[in-house]
């Protein structure tokens, strides 16, 4: 196995930091709403920002996880937590802003996770889907569970499904010979866009009649 | 350490897939009851089906976990989720059917976890008990927590205790020279039977007076 | 990397067992309050006692985690669970006793986690802070989530912040040439004392106005 840390291109690492920041913001918002103090906000922001990727790394054996090996990750989650702490009032007037950050994180982490699996296992759809979805939904699940809510992934419009569609598109583009860097942006846009349209127009997949 | 993946006999692997299917069904039921869409159902079924074994593998250093290395596991959890999605109405008339699947999973995963530890560490009771119980209760704990319920293991009649009794019996049979394959079935039947009798007759271990 | 298991001095290991016992007691109390039976109490006590350290070990690649490799850990959590089971009534008249045990565990595990990272990475503040805080808050987060409460770390007076202050002090003393064993006690006392004073006088860090 090639060293997965070294094989991550700079562009993908920058994207990963962006997704970390987006998810960290959602964790910080939730903590503010639950009246955490500044350190509680930092802790929930950090868990939300890095848990998905850390879980992926632990499952696939990248030890220590990149979020530990590279101090930038935690620096970014702490920075976002402090920013939200001060800017909460200005932000909260924009309704749905937390879900927007969440949608960005969902898109970025789907592609990051899938490209990680691609770097390690090559063009293996199952590994890419698993790593993509775990990375994308892991942090948000913990965030919601820790403030005693049912995780968004189990109750909302297109969520894991948007992530899954992104993996399919990403896999297809790589299979067609497109480079990882080139495939990343449209696939992220696809997931994030799909999720935001689903919120806007209340798109849902079929649910069983209970 | 022998490669634990290769040392798993076919019979045990088949049992493991059965336990995975049983727990996946319970996760799918819970997700349906919480009005998840089809992908949310697949995600909760998969977590419930593979999380206990994955946690066991990560704790004991089998990386990647068997549920990743072998695509059959996730194929089964997805299949169960889709089946429950379509058959929910027919199933739900049988009261307690979720708890019955759960009891089957509890029995199978207790023995699977204990036999994994036996394969790696030999006849070590503590390792067998730890691996057996983690495998058996891990997925169900996450399932319940993710839909905002207190995990069954903390509130119900004989549950972890049934698993523990199964480990004791399994350990005893192996110590007496019985083969793993031969010991597996009666020990699974013991755990599952004990759990179902406990539900039926409301057997409880002593609880402190609060 | 030196073998982290062997490099742990006896004194630190004894402290680790003390922290495990303190957290196990808090888990046992919670389980009793939620009417778990004796085995449910043992399971929650064990999770609370060992999960933080186990998560730390899994993140940093110490496999199997020390709480598995050394049977004393689980023996202690089981012992505490049984003790609380019988002594619950005598204990509960002392208001706040659970939070006191929790404060002791917080202090001990902060220093244990930080000294683990110090043993592996040397004087690296980020690694020490991460390992210290994960070890200190991990078990308590799971304990609270599993009984459907918002984890104490997100809602209470100085909590993760007390742990953080302890890491800063510990790092400073090691940097100044104090030995790990000598630095451990005052830093534990600092965290535990800070947390208990915060409870007593209701000290809080700033929270955003929502």
pLDDT digits (tens, 9 = 90+) for C80-138: 999 999 998 887 777 688 899 999 999 999 999 999 999 998 999 989 999 999 999 99
Residue B42 to residue A160, Cβ atoms within 8 A: yes
- B45 vs chain C: nearest CA distance in angstroms? 19
Q: By CB neighbour count within 10 A (0-12 exposed, 13-18 middle, 19+ buried), where does C90 fall?
A: exposed
pLDDT tens figures, A115-154? 999 999 899 998 999 999 999 999 999 999 999 999 999 8
Q: Do A43 and C137 touch (CB under 8 A)?
A: yes
User: Shortest CB distance from A60 goes to which of B35, B64, B145?
Assistant: B64
In the predicted structure, residue C4 carries a pLDDT above the cut 80? no
Q: What tokens were used for C69?
A: 């490799």
Structure tokens at C83: 């003790």
A26-63 residue pLDDT tens: 999 999 998 888 889 999 999 999 999 999 999 998 98
Taking contacts as CB-CB distances below 8 angstroms, the residues of chain C near B143 are: none
Model confidence band, residue A157 (pLDDT cutoffs 50, 70, 90): confident
CB contact under 8 A, B205 and C58: no
Of A31, A63, A64, the CB nearest to C154: A31
Cα dihedral across residues C154, C158, C163, C169: positive or negative: positive
Tell me which residues of chain A have a C-beta less than 8 Å from any C-beta of chain C: 31-44, 54, 58, 63-65, 68, 71, 74, 85-86, 88-89, 145-148
C-alpha C165/C-alpha C171 separation (Å) is 10
Of the spans B95-99, B202-206, C181-185, which averages the highest pLDDT?
C181-185
- Note whether A68 contacts C58, CB cutoff 8 Å: no
pLDDT at B16 > cutoff 90: yes
pLDDT for the residue numbered C58 = 93
Instruction: Report d(CA C1, CA C57) in Å as an integer.
Output: 14
Q: What is the ipTM of this complex?
A: 0.85
The alpha carbons of chain A give a radius of gyration, in whole angstroms, of: 16
- pLDDT of residue C3 exceeding 70, the answer is no
User: In the predicted model, is pLDDT for residue B158 greater than 60?
Assistant: yes
* Cβ–Cβ gap A208/B89 under 8 Å: yes
Cβ pair C59:A38 closer than 8 A: no
Question: pLDDT at position B210, please?
Answer: 63
Mapping DSSP onto H, E and C, the string for A132-186 reads HHHHHHHHHHHHHHHCCCCCHHHHCCCCHHHHHHHHHHHHHHHHCCCCHHHHHHH
Nearest Cβ partner for C37 among B133, B148, B204: B204
- Note whether B150 contacts C145, CB cutoff 8 Å: no
CA distance A63 to chain C (A): 6
Contact criterion met (CB below 8 Å) for B177 and B90: no
Per-residue pLDDT, B97: 86
Query: Could you tell me which of A149, A155, A57, A162 has the C-alpha nearest to residue A104?
Result: A162
Average predicted confidence (pLDDT) for chain B:
90
| Contact between A160 and B39 using a beta-carbon 8 Å cutoff | yes
Q: Between C44 and B206, whose confidence is greater?
A: C44
pLDDT at A8: 58
pLDDT for residue B123:
93
Phi/psi at A200 (5° precision) = -60, -45
Report the pLDDT value the prediction gives residue B8, as an integer from 0 to 100.
Answer: 57
Residues of B in contact with A157 (CB under 8 A): 37
Write the DSSP symbol of residue B150: -
- Which candidate from A35, A36, A74 shows the least CB-CB separation from C130? A74
* Chain A residues touching B42 at Cβ < 8 A: 160
Q: What is the pLDDT of residue C8?
A: 57
Is the CB of B133 less than 8 angstroms away from the CB of C43? yes
Query: In the prediction, which pLDDT does C137 show?
Result: 95
Q: Residues with Cβ < 8 Å from C167, sequence gap 6 or more?
A: C110, C114, C125, C128, C129, C132, C133
Instruction: Choose, out of A28, A31, A39, A146, the residue to mutate when testing the contact with C (most C CBs < 10 Å).
Output: A39
The region, left, alpha or beta by phi > 0 then psi within -120 to 50, assigned to residue B96 is left
User: Rounded to whole angstroms, how far apart are CA atoms B195 and B156?
Assistant: 10
Out of B58, B137, B155, closest to residue C35 by CB: B155
Contact C108, C18 (CB under 8 A): yes
Does the N-terminal peptide bond of residue B207 adopt cis geometry, omega within 30 degrees of 0? no
Contact check, Cβ <8 Å, B68/A205: no
Read off the pLDDT of each residue in B103-107 and give the average, rounded to a whole number: 96
What does the pLDDT read at residue C180? Answer: 94
3-state SS of A64-133? CCHHHHCCHHHHHHHHHHHHHHHHHHHHHCCCCHHHHHHHHHHHHHHHHHHHHHHHHHCCCHHHHHHHHH
Taking CB atoms and an 8 Å limit, are B160 and C35 in contact across chains? no
Q: For C24-39, how does the pLDDT look when each residue is reduced to its tens digit (9 = 90+)?
A: 999 999 999 988 888 8
Q: Which pLDDT band holds residue A4 (cuts at 50, 70, 90)?
A: very low
Proportion of chain B above pLDDT 70, given as a percent: 95
Residue numbers in A near B40 (CB within 8 A): 153-155, 159-160
Task: Say how many CA atoms lie within 13 Å of C12 toward its Cβ.
Answer: 25
Nearest CA in chain B to A59: B64
Res. B7: pLDDT tops 60: no
Cross-chain Cβ contact B154/C65 below 8 Å: no
A209: pLDDT strictly greater than 80:
no
Look at residue A156 and tell me whether its pLDDT is greater than 80: no
Angle between helix B38-60 and helix B10-33 axes, rounded to 10 deg = 140
C44 contact residues in B (CB cutoff 8 A)? 154
Report pLDDT for A210: 63
Residues B45-72: tens digit of each pLDDT? 999 999 999 999 999 989 889 998 899 9
- Which of A77-81, A114-118, A192-196, B152-156 shows the lowest mean pLDDT across its residues? B152-156
Average pLDDT in chain C: 90
Q: Is the pLDDT of residue B1 over 50?
A: no
Tokens 């755990």 — which residue? Answer: B191
């Amino acid at each position: 196995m090639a060293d997965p840390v070294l094989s991550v291109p700079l562009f993908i690492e920058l994207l990963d930091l962006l997704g970390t920041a987006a998810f960290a913001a959602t964790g910080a918002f939730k903590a503010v709403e639950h009246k955490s103090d500044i350190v509680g906000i930092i802790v929930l922001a950090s868990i939300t920002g890095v848990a998905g990727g850390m879980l992926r790394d632990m499952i696939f054996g990248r030890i220590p996880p990149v979020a530990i090996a590279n101090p930038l990750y935690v620096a970014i989650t702490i920075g976002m937590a402090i920013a939200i702490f001060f800017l909460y009032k200005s932000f909260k007037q924009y309704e749905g802003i937390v879900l927007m950050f969440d949608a960005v994180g969902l898109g970025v982490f789907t592609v990051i996770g899938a490209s990680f699996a691609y770097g390690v296992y090559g063009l293996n759809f199952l590994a890419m889907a698993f790593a993509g979805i775990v990375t994308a939904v892991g942090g948000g699940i913990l965030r919601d569970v820790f403030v005693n809510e049912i995780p968004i992934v189990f109750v909302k419009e297109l969520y894991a499904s948007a992530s899954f569609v992104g993996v399919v598109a990403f896999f297809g583009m790589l299979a067609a010979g497109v480079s990882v860097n080139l495939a990343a942006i449209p696939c992220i846009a696809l997931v994030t866009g799909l999720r935001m349209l689903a919120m806007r127009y209340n798109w849902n997949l079929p649910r069983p009649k209970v």
